[in-house]
Amino acid sequence: MEQPLILLTNDDGVDSPYLEPMASAMRANLGAEVIVLAPERQRSAMSHSITLHKPLRVEERRSGVYAVSGSPVDCVYIGILKVASRRPDLVVSGPNDGFNLGTDVFYSGTVGAAIEGGLRGIPSIAVSLGSKSPDALPHASKLVCSVAQGLWQQPAAGTVFNLNVPAGCEGKVRWTSLGRRLYEDDVQQRTDPRNRKYYWIGGGVAGVDDRKGSDCQAVLEDRVASISPLHLDLTKHSMLETEVGPWPLLNFELG
């Protein structure tokens, strides 16, 4: 049986201290070959950004570890099509330094990279830890390996798994839906040394919607790990299933 090949990436950059421990755990527990392609620097909140209008550089830092001058999605794209010796059996994105809960998945470069793998039909896992929580890393590594084995035994086409692991979870995990983490909307206007205006976007966490069975509840309240299966079809099918539709004004034909 051929040794499984795993593509490992992140959005915190190739120098993240979490990358090598995760790679080592997957080699040891899954008997896998692991190649690492990660951004050359911090690329958080890049979502599904892909670089189309400037060159991308790939530098091999050491055997099987590559720094990419673009986004996390660029790493997966180049890794699958150019760097990997064959099609990867799994894409793992992370571990991220900080949770990706609820609506965070729409902004997260960690999740965006996993989704790129999923769009290409490759089983994919995004994994995130609490900020500055290295003690959660061993539990996260074990959970990633368990999910990987499950995916290989029972493939789930078009699905990406979003895994969040808090400190102190002791390996306890729960299937969850996406919750909603609330943030303070904030745009600060500042002036640079040349008296030109610039803006700094982003406020702090303001709380969560208390949704039963959500990833936010599991991780932030119950302190257990959460796995949320993400479906890549964003269509709201319930609106298409009605005969008339919700707005008669939109039911027309051109011609």
Within 13 Å of residue 1, how many CA atoms lie on the same side as its CB?
Answer: 5
* Whole-angstrom distance, CA of residue 80 vs CA of residue 88: 7
- CATH 3.40.1210.10 corresponds to the domain 5-179+209-250: yes
Q: What mean pLDDT do residues 48-63 have?
A: 96
Domain locations in the chain as residue ranges: 5-179+209-250
For the ranges 68-72, 73-77, 136-140, 236-240, which has the lowest average pLDDT? 236-240
**What pTM, to 2 d.p., does this model score?**
0.91
Residue 207's pLDDT is what?
73
Q: What mean pLDDT do residues 171-198 have?
A: 91
pLDDT at residue 222 tops 90: yes
pLDDT at residue 85 tops 70: yes
- Closest by alpha carbon to 43, among 131, 116, 91, 110? 110
